[in-house]
Amino acid sequence: MKRRTTLEGINLLDLKPVRLADWEEKEGRVVLIRPAPSSRGLRKLLDSVTGWMSPQKVRLDAVGSAGWRLLDGAHTTAEVAAVLREQFGEEIEPVEERLGEFIRMLRYQGFLAYPDWDPIPHTGQVTPAARSSQE
């Protein structure tokens, strides 16, 4: 079975993104926690040059927090969009485009993944797509 390497031609509204990042709630908002690199030398170098590799907390707004709570691998992107539309109304239109961009940014930063396409690093799980590429 050949693994597809891109999501081209896939309806992203049908996928069920899963959270990879640790997170907490403060004052009703989700705060994502980006871990520091595991290599002490790399962490020290990057901290001295950029400062961005230290453990960081990313505080989401109300819409992002509501979306994050639903991105649990049980809901499709379309289902999340419908809940957000119901919760926030016209304020978030066009919701599918905004949610798609939000998911794209979170995926790029390693905060979430598409389980059928991306390896899920911190759990050690091998997704079906990753498994087929190993065979």
pLDDT in tens, 52-74: 555 578 999 999 999 999 999 99
Contact predicate 106/77, CB 8 Å = no
Euclidean distance between the first and final Cα of the chain, in Å? Answer: 8
**pLDDT given for residue 89 in this prediction:** 96
Residue 10 — pLDDT band, cuts 50, 70, 90?
confident
The candidate with the shortest Cα–Cα distance to 17, out of 130, 134, 127, is 127
CA 114 – CA 16 distance, rounded (Å): 6
User: Domain map of the chain by residue range?
Assistant: 12-134
User: Which range (4-8, 16-20, 58-62) has the least confidence?
Assistant: 4-8
| Average pLDDT across the chain, whole number | 78
Taking a C-beta distance cutoff of 8 angstroms, is the pair 68, 60 a contact? yes
Mean pLDDT of 13-23: 92
Q: What is the amino acid identity at position 2?
A: K
Joined tokens for residue 32: 């994502």
> Is the pTM higher than 0.95?
no
Alpha-carbon distance values, 14 to 50, 67, 73 (Å)? 38, 16, 11
